[in-house]
Structure 1
Amino acid sequence: MRRSNRAAAGAAAWQVVHEGVKPGKPSLWARASAIPRMLGARLRGRYTQLPASRLVLFVLATLYIVSPIDLVPELFIPIFGLADDAVIVTWLASGLMGETERFLEWERSGDDYIQGHVVG
């Protein structure tokens, strides 16, 4: 991703993150550190509230952001070339904010039950 893309995407993500953390809600650090636990719990089948389709979209969005290939190259249409990356980063950041908040709530509730059996 070009430097200008990273700056625009970073600014969009910061806005989502800054507006998404409210008093009484998990901190940004708590949410970020929950991502590996959430993925691990999802892949082990313990945390079923994250649909596989949404997980795949998160992975694809991450790959798109780090990929040097853009859907809309900046060379031809500079404004839209920046906008596509910013939209993806904003969607990914807001989606992860919501998912990690639900996951942290699930962790606090101790809801490790799947079909009546404790998952250990």
Structure 2
Amino acid sequence: MGRTLRRTAAFTALWKALITGNGSNASLADRLGAMPRMVVATLRGRYDGLGRIMAMAAATLYVVSPVDMVPEAFLLVLGLADDVIIVSWIAGALISETDRFLMWENGVKTPMGGPVIDGDVA
């Protein structure tokens, strides 16, 4: 009962984050529209997301590839668990990266994911 409740809460939180964002105002439509622009800007060298986009692409290819059928064939339910984990990671990474890209596109300076605080260095 406890595991099912935690799993349900985790997927509910993921769904809400996908729809409303992680504190940002970006909608699902904004994120979907930003993905092609993000890939083009990355391939042209204007945006620094190449490593993250490649990791998401590799994870997606693994999930849809025939190689992924091997764990399911031998481990049944446990073989599906790796798919759930990877797809959850992909969804979270897409949410995070599209937020980061939309901030970059709008000119918001956020080094290391945090806000810039004006001040003097002593």
Asked whether the two chains share a fold, i.e. TM above 0.5, the reply is yes
| SS of residue in 2 equivalent to 1:47 | coil
Question: What is the CA RMSD across the aligned residues, in angstroms?
Answer: 2.5
CA distance in structure 1 between the partners assigned to 2:15 and 2:38 by the alignment: 18
Does the alignment pair 1:88 with 2:86? yes
CA distance in structure 2 between the partners assigned to 1:106 and 1:41 by the alignment: 11
1:1-120 alignment, distance < 5 Å: 16-20=14-18, 21-22=20-21, 24-48=24-48, 50=49, 52-70=50-68, 73-109=71-107
State the shift of 1:90 in Å. 0.5
CA displacement, residues 66-98 of structure 1 (integer Å, 9 cap, x when unaligned): 212217522221121111111110001100100
| SS of residue in 1 equivalent to 2:72 | coil
Aligned length in residues = 98
- Which runs of 5 or more residues in structure 1 are unaligned? 1-11, 112-120
Which one has the largest radius of gyration?
2
Report which structure shows greater RCO (CA 8 Å, sep ≥6): 1
CA distance in structure 2 between the partners assigned to 1:30 and 1:13 by the alignment: 21
State the shift of 1:24 in Å. 4.9
Percentage of identical aligned residues = 45
CA distance in structure 2 between the partners assigned to 1:99 and 1:58 by the alignment: 10
Instruction: Flag the structure with higher helix content.
Output: 2
- Which runs of 5 or more residues in structure 2 are unaligned? 1-9, 110-122
| SS of residue in 1 equivalent to 2:71 | coil
CA distance in structure 2 between the partners assigned to 1:24 and 1:88 by the alignment: 24
